[in-house]
Amino acid sequence: MASDGAVARGVNPNSIGSDTERGPWTVRDKVCAVTGASGGIGKEVASGLAKRGARVVIVSHSKERAAATVDEIVHATLNPHVDLVVADLSTQAGVRSACAELDRRYGQLHVLINNAGLLIGKRGLTADSLEKTFALNHLAYFLLTNLLLEKLLRSAPARIISTSSMAHAWANWDWENLQGEKRYSQWRAYSNSKLANLLFTFELARRLEGRAVTANAVHPGFVRSGFGSTATGPMRLGIRLGWVGAISALKGARTTLWAATAPELSEVSGKYFARCSAVEPSAAAKDEAAQRRLWELSERLTGVGSAQ
């Protein structure tokens, strides 16, 4: 498995190495891992990659559901190269297990799509004694990406795409209450985690400058899916009422697929995309001091070192 010394270091979001000598970017025959892909947006992203001839790896905690998804995608796309890695990404042992399995099975990794996430109604802790929303929606992205970074760099050009949300604009960031230690709100926990996705992505892009691995984040839109099924009270009701105007998972997958496949994005990094275009994130997301501070905190919480 990739060593903790593979942690990305220092970088500018718009200066990633060109792959023009290798020909135009395509995902055909490239290894693409998608987390949280047993249903919803992740499933449609995995299917779209398979249609384009990629070697797709679905990472999911639900073996039965994900196995059925693999069979469905293979049948629909006639692409036999769709595999499954079973892992609970809400725990750091699960993330490390997924990384070890990806490392064992595949010599290369060209696209990593961090998509798994939840909105959780009641505060709970993982086996690592971390708040569940923060652990799954942010720390899993951070740890999995860093553990797989050596493989991505060896496979370059490569792309890292993380699913954020416009909900990040409603974050109520408090360094002393990031895990709801003092007070917990399911919406605050979720929106803070989506802001964390952007802070992580922008810092990662800087650290990867000039190394032919790009890092971008996407807002898929408000999608009619299983999202919010673990919400409680008025939040759960509000999400269900909002489904009236929500888009399908297929439409929700479009921006992520574009970010993964578009040749014109080969040298674009450190961006936030919605509706297949770059959009401005909140001012809080662009705070470079906060980006560095969250990175350092995430290193401590995950045990990832920075020996380079």
Catalytically active residues are 190
Which residue, among 121, 133, 129, 130, has the nearest Cα to 189 in the 3D structure? 133
Which residue, among 81, 75, 80, 99, has the nearest Cα to 149 in the 3D structure? 99
| Tokens of residue 284, six digits | 């809080």
CA–CA–CA angle 220, 73, 104 (5° rounding): 90
268-299 as b/e: b if 16+ CB within 10 A: bbbbbbbeeeeeebeebbebeebbeebbeebb
Helix (H, G, I), strand (E, B) or coil at 155: coil
The Cα–Cα gap between 194 and 170 comes to 10
| Tokens of residue 47, six digits | 């299917």
Beta strand segments in the chain, E: 31-35, 55-60, 82-86, 111-114, 158-163, 213-219, 272-274, 277-278
Contacts of 79 (CB under 8 A, 6+ apart): 50, 51, 53, 54, 56, 73
Which residue, among 162, 262, 261, has the nearest Cα to 203 in the 3D structure? 162
The residue length of the chain stands at 308
Which residue, among 7, 2, 33, has the nearest Cα to 307 in the 3D structure? 7
Q: Is the dihedral of CA 39, 42, 45, 47 positive or negative?
A: negative
